[in-house]
Amino acid sequence: MKSLLATVVTASVLFNAAASAQAVHAADHPLIPRNVLFGNPDKRGGSLSHDGQWVSWIAPDAKGVMNVFVAPKGALDKAKVVTHDASRGIRTYMWAYDNTHILYLQDQGGDENWKVYAVNVHHADQPVRDLTPFESIPGPDGKPITLPTGQPLRPAARISALSAKHPGKVVVGLNNRNPQYHDLYMLELSTGKLEVLLQNDKYAQFVIDDDYNVRIAGVPNAAGGVDYFKNTGKEGGPASWEPFMSVGLEDAQSTMPIGFDKSGKTLYMSEGRKTNTSALVEMDWATGETRVLAQDPRVDGGGVMEDPRTGKIQAVSFEYERQYWKVLDATIQPDLDYLKTVADGEVNVQARSGDDQTWLVSYTVDNGPARVYTYDRPAKKATLLYTNNKRLENQPLVKMQPVVIKSRDGMDLVSYLTLPPGSDANGDGVPERPVPMVLNVHGGPWARDSWGFNPTAQWLSNRGYACLEVNFRSSTGFGKKFRNAGNLQWAAAMHDDLIDAVDWAVAKKIAPKDKVAIMGGSYGGYATLVGLTFTPDVFACGVDIVGPSNLNTLLKSIPPHWAPMLDMMARQVGDPRTPEGQKFLESRSPLTFVDKISKPLLIGQGYNDPRVKFTEAEQIVSAMESKSLPVTYVVYPDEGHGFARPQNRLSFYAVTEAFLAKHLGGRMEPIGSDFEGSSITVPSGADGVPGVAAALEASKTASPAAK
């Protein structure tokens, strides 16, 4: 693809008088280096072995790749790296109940076809074992199913259950027989032996108890809800399924079984069928009697704290603007009261030993690094284990302000505003004079923005921009009325909420009307494309990260194991299986209105993205090129739905920073060496962003694989 932006803008243009005036307050503070915000942290993902004798975390190894480290509790100087990933880094892991094995998931290049791996932490010299060594899925003819690229379709494994009652075994789900459904297997850790626990050609989700009995299974129904069945078969015998409950579309995301306590006699559920927000409910499995444990009329129930000895839920979190915990078991109240005195921030217990004597506790703030402590419960003493990123200390970080914005039809949009340092001298949440703003739209859309440390918000504010994050309708956590108000409202009422938030910011003199950008990933990338096509006069520019451009092709190319959820998606987004649905989806697709784009656009895409295929980006870039519309297109051949490798993150944010500086007038750190080690390719528009073409030439990392 040839470049469409022929004019090279020099760095001096970025620092003209107008830009300097807009960024005057931020200019009084030093630039926070991008690698501090978006590079690898010092540590993250702290956990405990179940016997409480070992602590673990993820940190960069000698080559800078994120791997798992383990140390004896109280002897951190003896920490050793136990995994040896050489590319994407470990993102999630867990201790097996044998206190010997750490399990983790890894895919290839972001394809999300996960494998389960195990490492013996006491014999780190032993090789990491692939416990799900399947490279393809057979079709009806027995031959491997292939992707359009000609590569075999790989299974996507998942860890379905772990239990202290079976410390040497775990339950894994594998779609290596039928790509749409996961069979359940009992996996023996010492040998790697897989034994079929349940062959499955129907169910999309399961609840498994501590004895590894499959107790409940869910089937998406044609109405977009879920039908749940209970297993009435004898323990150890074949499953026998009877109806348990049926949940409609409006309640499908708030009403569901959570799991059993360790006795198997009490079921915990999220229940919202009779109320707007979901409650935490316990059910006596023998009698069916239920009891509400906690509920908030503003928001749905969130995370839970569970007694590791009994499986009883002891506390549940709720989050409107900020998170709080509702304590159900008075025995932990003194612990939580003490922990609140240890450090500033929101408290979360992220791991507990099996005897409940040792906890791992994190403290989250909005303007600094997270801190993680080990907590000796009998002694009521917390000891700092690590600060996740010491380089953030003494940086000019700012506070994140929760704000509630009214939509045009009267809905409350819980949002978060981060202003440039020094711009709000009196602390009233409004800068002394309007500053350029970036509307940063979350993905999902069935997710939410939250208060806390946000590297993107801190980066934007440090460069002289206000960052506004909006929980638009369909965002989760605010009750079913709010969530379902987004059904079939992509590019309609959901987008209206974003425009209402921009209008609010302009009316409050937070931002000038002509200096607002829109940016986001996944659904946020789609919202960016909608912003530049459906409301082309609102935004000065847009940054689309792995966002769909054509809803028909998006829904027709979902991963096979997402297929059971298509009825639900059809009723929330639109139905690609009918002519009427296809026409509707076309009317909500930015690609349909590509000729409306009049503002600069930057697109970032992972070539291996299984959710939003790279063709979503390719087709809108091609359409823009055919109409001579300006676009800069960045592709990573070794990434999927987002950019996992830190070198790739740094390179993309370097491009984005230069792009925003050109079109909004904020500050920028030169690209420098931020392309080194990255797989970045720029098939279109490299000359349209200052410094990109030169950095590409210097790094020599461009690859034809993504073209």
Q: What mean pLDDT value characterizes the chain? A: 93
> Which residues lie across from 266 on neighbouring strands?
284
Instruction: Supply the pLDDT for residue 238.
Output: 85
Are 609 and 110 in contact by the 8 Å Cβ rule? The answer is yes
pLDDT of residue 239: 87
Structure tokens at 615: 């063709």
123 included as an active-site residue: no
Could you read off the pLDDT of 671-701 as tens digits, one per residue?
Answer: 999 999 999 999 999 999 999 999 999 987 4
- What Cα–Cα distance (Å) separates residue 207 from each residue in 171, 183, 210, 261, 289? 11, 14, 10, 12, 19
End-to-end CA distance of the chain: 8
CB atoms within 10 A of CB 48: 23
Catalytic annotation present for 641: yes
Q: Which of 111, 335, 609, 638 is catalytic?
A: 609
Whole-number pLDDT of residue 25: 55
460-519 tens-digit pLDDT:
999 999 999 999 999 999 999 999 999 999 999 999 999 999 999 999 999 999 999 999
pLDDT for residue 2 is more than 90: no
375 and 339 Cβ atoms separated by less than 8 Å: yes
User: What does the pLDDT read at residue 148?
Assistant: 76
Alpha carbon distance 269, 342 (integer Å): 33
Each residue of 198-237: pLDDT tens digit? 999 999 999 999 999 999 999 999 999 999 999 998 877 7
At 470 the three-state DSSP class reads: strand
H or E element that contains 304: strand 301-306
Show the beta-strand stretches assigned E in 388-435.
400-406, 412-418
* pLDDT confidence of residue 18: 36
| Residue with the two structure tokens 């519309």 | 629
Q: Please give the pLDDT value at position 264.
A: 96
Residue 16: pLDDT over 50: no
Asked if 359 and 377 touch (Cβ cutoff 8 Å), the reply is: yes
pLDDT for residue 5 is more than 90: no
Report whether 279 contacts 302 (CB < 8 A): no
Q: Which entry of 522, 589, 678, 684 is annotated as an active-site residue? A: 522
pLDDT score recorded for residue 27: 66
Q: Which residues of 536-551 are buried (b: 16+ CB within 10 A; e: fewer)?
A: eebbbbbbbbbbbbbb
Marked catalytic residue, from 25, 29, 50, 641: 641
Segment 618-662, tens digit of pLDDT? 999 999 999 999 899 999 999 999 999 999 999 999 999 999 999
Backbone angles phi, psi at 682, to 5 degrees: -130, 85
DSSP strand E in 399-482: where?
400-406, 412-418, 437-441, 466-470
Q: What is the pLDDT of residue 702?
A: 43
Res. 4: pLDDT tops 90: no
Give CA separation, 396 vs 399, 610, 657, in Å.
10, 38, 18
Segment 341-376, tens digit of pLDDT: 999 999 999 999 999 999 999 999 999 999 999 999
Res 15: pLDDT: 30
- 85: which residues sit within 8 A by CB, 6+ positions away? 65, 66, 67, 106
- At 271-299, the pLDDT tens digits run 999 999 999 999 999 999 999 999 999 99
Per-residue pLDDT reduced to its tens digit, 143-166:
899 887 788 899 999 999 999 999
Give yes or no for residue 6 having a pLDDT over 50: no
Lowest mean pLDDT, pick from 24-28, 439-443, 481-485? 24-28
Asked whether the predicted pLDDT for residue 571 surpasses 80, the reply is yes
Q: Evaluate if residue 451 carries a pLDDT over 90.
A: yes
Cα distance between residue 561 and residue 563, in whole Å: 5
